[in-house]
Amino acid sequence: MYVSDNNRYSDMQYVHCGKSGLRLPPVSLGLWQNFGFGSDFTKAEKMCHTAFDLGITHFDLANNYGHPYNGSAEENFGKILERGLGAYRDELCISTKAGYEMWDGPYGDRNGSRKYLTASLDQSLKRMKLDYVDIFYHHVFDPNTPPEETALALDNAVKQGKALYVGISNYNKQQTAAIKAIFDELKTPFIVNQPSYSMLNRWVEDDGLDEYCAENGIGLAVFSPLYQGFLTDRYLNGIPADSRIGKGNTWIAQQLDEKMLAKLNKLNDIAANRGQKLSQMAIAWLLNNKAVATVLIGASRPEQITDNVQALKNTVFSAEELAEINRILGE
């Protein structure tokens, strides 16, 4: 039976998610890849244990994680909870999402209807063998469902005791402001938006989403912080055969040209001068944005989690470093 490290809280500093009372670790574990059907369950369980032993209390899932076997990541996480991690349920912040295609027919396709969201959350709770999740997200904006309906569905999940807080994911500033107005009227505990964000993907800044969320008490839980592995040392000297790009299972392979490689190597030089790996600096850079409450990392082995948490040892940047990073990113 799993017993967690007694020192798990000694080094981690927790941050309030927006203006809520919920505090999150600055690094959280996302279970999008390597936790679903066909993954090494023993390794997946070890990654969850490693994360919690390091003070990572937040585990982020979605109904469709484990594609093409939608729900399989939640099923495996339910087994991990059942086999020992669940003894610490009150120390865990577990989130899940619904919004993308999940099951056949008009009620399980990509949408934000009350019927889909309600059914999906019930399914997620059953798969994970939980009475409630801490955060329930609408996973992606749906232009074909009135925002009032989506908001009411999320609010109802809280009223039913199936979720403690609600969030949205992949919503821009305008969409966030629109649904926030409804949540405010309903007095729903809406605390977080989960967008993609990294050094190489700064749309939240261009859109003004980060500034809006910071001003309105909404935390950002950002995903893809390493831009599909670009912001690691994996590609500094070419494309390894066993990498995502080498295996042909990523959509951004065409972006890894000579110009990108030069940019990555210059960023790596700055990281080295800071005593960090490129991946660690990329995580630290995100946390330098006051709107960011937590960075969602993925992993394929426990050592990557330990390595990424080391980013928290140096999250302060000088004005010169930030200026040079911006110059390189603008090339």
pLDDT digits (tens, 9 = 90+) for 203-230: 999 999 999 999 999 999 999 999 989 9
- Whether residue 58 lies inside any domain: the answer is yes
Q: Which residues contact 17 (CB under 8 A, 6 or more apart)?
A: 23, 24, 165, 191, 192, 219, 221, 293, 294
Distance, CA of 191 to CA of 137 (rounded, Å): 10
Which CATH number does the domain housing residue 96 bear?
3.20.20.100
Q: Is the dihedral of CA 317, 50, 134, 6 positive or negative?
A: negative
- Whether residue 266 lies inside any domain: the answer is no
Distance, CA of 84 to CA of 160 (rounded, Å): 27
pLDDT of residue 326: 97
Short-list 82, 25, 98, CA closest to 58: 25
CA atoms lying within 13 Å on the CB side of residue 170: 12
pLDDT of residue 104: 95
Decide: 65 and 32 in contact? Cβ < 8 Å: yes
**Residue 169 CA: distances (Å) to CA of 101, 191, 219:** 15, 12, 12
- Whether residue 78 lies inside any domain: the answer is yes
Decide: 311 and 278 in contact? Cβ < 8 Å: no
Mean pLDDT of 232-251: 68
Q: Which residues contact 154 (CB under 8 A, 6 or more apart)?
A: 117, 136, 138, 163, 166, 183, 188, 190
Mean pLDDT of 25-36: 97
pLDDT of residue 237: 81
- Whether residue 65 lies inside any domain: the answer is yes
Domain total for the chain? 1
- Whether residue 7 lies inside any domain: the answer is no
- pTM equals 0.95
- Whether residue 320 lies inside any domain: the answer is no
Res. 239 pLDDT band, cuts 50 70 90: low
Distance, CA of 141 to CA of 170 (rounded, Å): 7
- Whether residue 263 lies inside any domain: the answer is no
pLDDT digits (tens, 9 = 90+) for 118-163: 999 999 999 999 999 999 999 999 999 999 999 999 999 999 999 9
- Whether residue 323 lies inside any domain: the answer is no
**296: amino acid identity, one letter:** L
Residue-number span of the structural domain to which 156 is assigned: 15-254+279-315
